[in-house]
């Protein structure tokens, strides 16, 4: 799976919930990190690019 993009589909409601989670100041950082990864994957960013961020 080297450098390949995976197609993941996140609904609008799920994307909004993930976005809200990333902005919550009292959210666990582990959850925030995972939410950002899902949002980046949905935007079409490769895992290799994500690992550099």
- For the stretch 9-53, pLDDT in tens is 889 999 999 999 999 999 999 999 999 999 998 888 888 888 887
Hey, what are 29's tokens? 């950082």
Domain ranges of the chain: 12-52
Which pLDDT score, from 0 to 100, does residue 47 have?
84
The span from the CA of 26 to the CA of 24, in Å, is: 6
Q: Which of 48, 51, 53, 36 is nearest to 6 (CA)?
A: 48
């Amino acid at each position: 799976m080297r450098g390949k993009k995976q197609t993941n589909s996140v609904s609008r409601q799920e994307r909004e919930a993930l976005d809200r989670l990333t902005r919550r100041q009292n959210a666990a950082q582990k959850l925030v990190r995972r939410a950002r990864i899902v949002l980046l994957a949905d935007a079409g960013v490769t895992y290799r690019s994500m690992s550099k961020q």
